[in-house]
């Protein structure tokens, strides 16, 4: 898999996780983006590293 595809998939994971966590916590936490964005960054890094490691095998 090319590095461009890995980055695009990781960005999609970032967006999905950020939106989902923000929507879930919207009623409980006023600034839910402060939790959603770091969660999205963690999802981006995990998916990027996993896909990159699979590429090298």
Average pLDDT over residues 37-50: 96
Does the pLDDT of residue 33 top 90, yes or no?
no
Average pLDDT over residues 43-47: 97
- What pLDDT does residue 49 have? 95
pLDDT band at 8 (very low <50, low <70, confident <90, very high): very high
- Which of 21, 9, 2 has the alpha carbon at shortest distance from 47? 9
The Cα–Cα gap between 19 and 2 comes to 26
SS3 57: coil
């Amino acid at each position: 898999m090319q590095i461009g595809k890995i980055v695009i998939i990781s960005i999609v994971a970032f967006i999905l996780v950020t939106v989902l966590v923000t929507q879930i916590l919207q009623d409980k936490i006023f600034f839910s983006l402060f939790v959603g964005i770091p969660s999205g960054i963690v999802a981006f890094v995990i998916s990027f590293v996993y896909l990159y490691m699979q590429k090298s095998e």
